[in-house]
Amino acid sequence: MGALATSTLTYCGIPLPHAASARTTQPLRLLGSPCGMRVGFAANLEHFRWPGFTDFVTSNFDLLTPEGEMKWSALRPAPNRFDFGPADQLLAFSQRQGMAVHGHNLCWNTGNPDWLKSVLTPRNAERYLTDHITAVVSRYAGKMDSWDVVNEPIGLWFNRADGLYGGPWLDTLGVGYIDIAFHAAAAADPKALRILNIHNVEHGDAYSEKSRQAALALITQLVARKVPVQAIGLESHLDAGRALDAAALTGFIEGIRSMGLEVLVTELDVNDSQISGTLAERDKAVADMYAAYLSMVLPAMNIQRLIFWSVTDKMNWMDYMKDNRWRRADGLSHRCALLDANLNPKAALYSCISALQQVCTQG
């Protein structure tokens, strides 16, 4: 890690582009540890083939989330068949490195294998959901830090009065699909933290506010029904073109914590689709958004886990999205991550380092 080990300045094995940028001494995970926080990252197997990726993540993080390998679409090639191969490989890597593993995810109304919709009925859906969660969670019991038990329960664009995200589980089981999923996960591994992973709640505009209200209403019902949810994950796919509202965000976090639940950040990155200008200008807007967000949420959370979704811009997920929210007018690739596509550190990395230093080291 010594930045001065060679004549080229490096940070955690990555050459630094400009000597003036080398204003850090410690990896992210060590910056998080004074406040008892694990700092994690998402990756799929492909990422580990890229030179420099493994060095960077093993230096910087102590928690791994498989980006796709634990989803239904990966684990369930056919109704009666499981494929645990890729997920097992990521788990074995994490164990060798002494990293915790955050599982993503056990139940989602999208991202499912094509066969699911054609077999699911109101009569058999509970059995499919329970059997899947029991099989997956039992297999990894004792090895997982946490699970996104239900992913993205709120989706305003479905235009339902309750704001719920539509899809096969909601259609067949109603909102009770969430109860079923959490009870099955708790039975199969009582020790892994059980998370309801929510999105679109982070910004200061009316859309985020409406999502926050729908999320709070749902969480209130789940707590009243004694559903064994333990934590709320804020995905935190931020948008550099949309403002934050500190009071609204921290009020939301405090509202969740007042119901006895933990709050964590599960998928942090920054969309720069609406930011024009030079690369440096775009990178600054992204870096500022990372720093502003972390300095708002970390003090308000019961900080235990902070997970970065995009480590590098290389093949980032935003470039593959069809929706206008992720379409850049200039057609260029997004600059959403901590490192650029050549795995060089960007301003985003330094702003996260500063934010963690301020909150955890000096806080």
Q: What residues make contact with ligand G3I under the rule CB under 6 A?
A: 67-68, 71, 111, 151, 235, 267, 315, 317, 320
Contacts of 289 (CB under 8 A, 6+ apart): 238, 239, 240, 244, 270
Q: How far is the CB of 5 from ligand G3I (least distance, A)?
A: 33
Residue type at 173 in one-letter notation: L
Q: How far is the CB of 7 from ligand G3I (least distance, A)?
A: 36
Residue pointed to by tokens 């330094």: 350
* Element spanning 235, H or E: none
Reading the block at residue 211, the tokens are: 């999502």
Counting every residue written for the chain, the total comes to 363
Q: In this complex, which beta carbon is closest to ligand G3I, that of residue 27 or of residue 167?
A: 167
Q: In this complex, which beta carbon is closest to ligand G3I, that of residue 140 or of residue 309?
A: 309
Distance CA 114, CA 341 (A): 32
Q: In this complex, which beta carbon is closest to ligand G3I, that of residue 262 or of residue 313?
A: 313
Distance CA 363, CA 349 (A): 20
Q: How far is the CB of 169 from ligand G3I (least distance, A)?
A: 15
Q: How far is the CB of 10 from ligand G3I (least distance, A)?
A: 27
- DSSP letter at 15 equals E
Distance CA 73, CA 271 (A): 25
Distance CA 324, CA 241 (A): 13
Q: In this complex, which beta carbon is closest to ligand G3I, that of residue 120 or of residue 336?
A: 336
Q: In this complex, which beta carbon is closest to ligand G3I, that of residue 105 or of residue 344?
A: 105
Distance CA 25, CA 3 (A): 8
Q: How far is the CB of 247 from ligand G3I (least distance, A)?
A: 26
Q: How far is the CB of 320 from ligand G3I (least distance, A)?
A: 5
Q: In this complex, which beta carbon is closest to ligand G3I, that of residue 214 or of residue 353?
A: 214
Which residue has its beta carbon closest to ligand G3I? 317
Closest CA relative to residue 72, chosen from 63, 81, 64: 81
